[in-house]
Chains A and B, each alone.
Chain A
Amino acid sequence: MKKPYFISDYVSIWKNTLSLNGETLFNCSQETSFKDFSKSLYKHIDMNYPKFYKMDNLSKLALLATEALFKNKNFNPEEENIALTLSNKSGSLDTDLKHQDSIADETNFFPSPAVFVYTLANICLGEISIKYKLQTENAFFVSESFQPDFITVYAEQLLQTGKAKKVLCGWVEYTDDNYEAFIYLVDEEGTLEHRSETLKKLYLE
């Protein structure tokens, strides 16, 4: 018999709004850029993590969503063996373009290590791992759209085989000031069944 798993909490960030378990927690006026929105949100959820400002947009987005979700839990993430499986469509394209700009001109060729390091989408997993001290299973997937059929199977396999106790899953996409994060925690406890159909519904909410 397979154990049942649940979506214990979910967070979405898009259009200058953060919501937790379907309820709006924070929003800014529609005119705000991601730079300003992310800064206001960072202050609103009281992160106090100066490294945040050094991150690329994708990592900021992933970290803000994760922080909002973990703040709502009364556990210490470090002690919970929480695996990370995030995915998106554009990889690290936003940062790729910045790095490309720095090497476009042969006579003004100054690639920045602090930009280059973020030209890998999985760096956002590294940032989450560092912030919450998660020495756990990590994987970053890329697909044209959110693939709950695949991700639910992968997450449950990590849980069923004891490779993780909980799995933080989701979709984090950033391009050209358009952003979308949908992050959820798969756990043994909760009210929403961990099923692909449920996730499709929540993702569209």
Chain B
Amino acid sequence: MREVYINDSNCITPLGFDVQANFDALLEGKSGIVKSTDFHKAVYVSKIDEQLLNKSFAEIGDPSAYTKLEKMLILTLKPLVSEYSISKDTPLIVSTTKGNIDELHHTNPRRILLHEVAQAVTDFFGLTQQAIVISNACVSGLLSVAVAKRMIQAGVYEGALVVAGDIISEFVLSGFHSFQAISDTPCRPYDESRKGITLGEAAAAVYISTVKSKNPTQAVKISGDGAINDANHISGPSRTGEGLYKSILAALEEAAVDVTAVDFISAHGTATHYNDEMEAIAFNRASLEHVPLNSLKGYYGHTLGASGLLETIISIESAFRNVLIPSVGYETSGISQPLNIIKNNQQKDIKYFLKTASGFGGCNTAVLFEKIA
């Protein structure tokens, strides 16, 4: 089977417009979450400043020609496309749950269909292949990595660009409010006082290919993956963590890596009562309870279709710097089974790390990465 690598990455978040800026902010314990009065109810969110975004975007295009999400996606991809002098027939995979959903209330919404968002990005870079959109709830970003790897292994692609993004909208906020799932404080994954999610917005991009990066300090191998459904309930995660557990096993099995080799886990950790509890059960079933683990939702909020890819990128940086980032918001365990949740910045040699995500519809994804030194 062909080996497939993530060669380079970039991200745009409230904490910075590239990976370095983001990781430095995380090392200082900065969070993007602030109180906002832009919506129906005052609420904590991690939101990208549109003026800043427009200022950066103006260097490469006309900000008024694109929606906020499209600008985020294009700006994130830009350095990867330039760096690798990507050939125009490189496939593009776009991960988003709701696309330009904030346009839906307009009389003439711009590019409300998800493939139209992808087309705007494709056209901007002059790519020639029709983009594929993955819209699989909150696992979309991580699933995109698995899908790109599978397509490359099948031999149809040599490389692929993957970009993921979602914005905060009244549409999504009001829905999560109706689920009583929005926290009235910044979210606190795995903590006993957790009250639900905080929404965030971000875009993230990676270039995936069969060729190891020119720069050997950047490549990670995508060693194994699984994306298995709970088959339990459309909005509530499985009480036994079945789908996540099976996804983790599938990833480890494909990688032929023993569970004891996993050095670090970047978990989903949304800070809803049921999600975090389900993860604790699944990680314990997989004998991963001693492995240092974090959720980055306390810094970025839940960035939906971006989250899986954004958190992968931050974890890659963690692996190369051999630094574990604490799970901000966590003080006292609020889950029924033990997990080794990271409380302080710490040094650790990282070779293998696991990234997981779970979402509505009972979906789960786990991907195992190996740092290529």
Which of B130, B150, B250 contacts A143 (CB under 8 A)? B130
Question: Which listed residue, B130, B150, B171, B178, touches A113 by the CB 8 Å rule?
Answer: B178
Which B residues touch A122, using CB under 8 A? Answer: 135-137, 360-361, 363
Does A53 sit at the interface, judged by CB under 8 A? no
- Does residue A33 face the partner (Cβ distance < 8 Å to B)? no
| Residue of B147, B177, B233, B362 ringed by the most chain A CB atoms within 10 A | B362
Q: How far does the alpha carbon of A162 sit from the alpha carbon of B132 in the complex, in Å?
A: 24
For the complex, is B114 an interface residue (Cβ under 8 Å from A)? yes
Q: Is residue A138 within 8 Å, beta carbon to beta carbon, of the partner chain?
A: yes
B216 at interface by CB-CB < 8 Å: no
Which of A106, A123, A130, A158 sits near B150, CB closer than 8 Å?
A: A158
Tell yes or no: A136 within 8 A of B by CB. Answer: yes
Q: Are A144 and B130 in contact (CB under 8 A)?
A: yes
- Known contacts A157-B150, A161-B254; is-contact A136 B228 (Cβ 8 Å): yes
Contact B137 A153 (CB under 8 A): no
On chain B, which size bracket covers the interface? 35 or more
A182 to chain B, nearest CB (A): 18
Contact with A along B326-354 (1 / 0, CB 8 A): 00000000000000000000000000000
**A:62-110 near B, CB below 8 Å:** 84, 89-91, 93, 96-97, 99-100, 102-104, 106, 109
Query: Do A91 and B229 form a contact, CB below 8 Å, given A123-B360, A140-B135, A154-B147?
Result: no
Query: Is B174's CB under 8 angstroms from A111's CB?
Result: yes
CB distance from A67 to the nearest CB of B (A): 16
Complex CA–CA separation, A139 to B132 (angstroms):
12
Contact of A111 among B147, B175, B234, B360 (CB under 8 A): B175
A136 surroundings in chain B (CB, below 8 A): 228-229
Contact A141 B132 (CB under 8 A): yes
Contact with A99, one of B99, B175, B231, B235 (Cβ below 8 angstroms):
B175
Measured CB to CB, the nearest residue on chain A to B144 is A139
On chain B, the residues within 8 Å of A147 by CB distance are: 130, 132
Q: Does B104 contact A (CB under 8 A)?
A: yes
Neighbour of B151 across the interface among A127, A144, A153, CB < 8 A: A153
Q: List 27 contacting pairs A-B, 8 Å CB cutoff, sorted by A.
A: A99-B171, A99-B174, A103-B40, A103-B171, A111-B175, A111-B177, A116-B176, A119-B171, A120-B360, A120-B361, A123-B360, A125-B136, A126-B234, A126-B363, A129-B231, A130-B232, A130-B362, A135-B231, A135-B243, A136-B228, A137-B226, A137-B228, A138-B363, A140-B135, A142-B115, A143-B132, A144-B130
Report A's interface with B, CB cutoff 8 A: 84, 89-91, 93, 96-97, 99-100, 102-104, 106, 109, 111-113, 116-117, 119-123, 125-127, 129-130, 132-144, 147, 150, 153-154, 156-158, 160-161, 163
Closest 4 pairs between A and B when the two form their complex, measured CB to CB: A126-B361, A116-B175, A142-B133, A129-B231
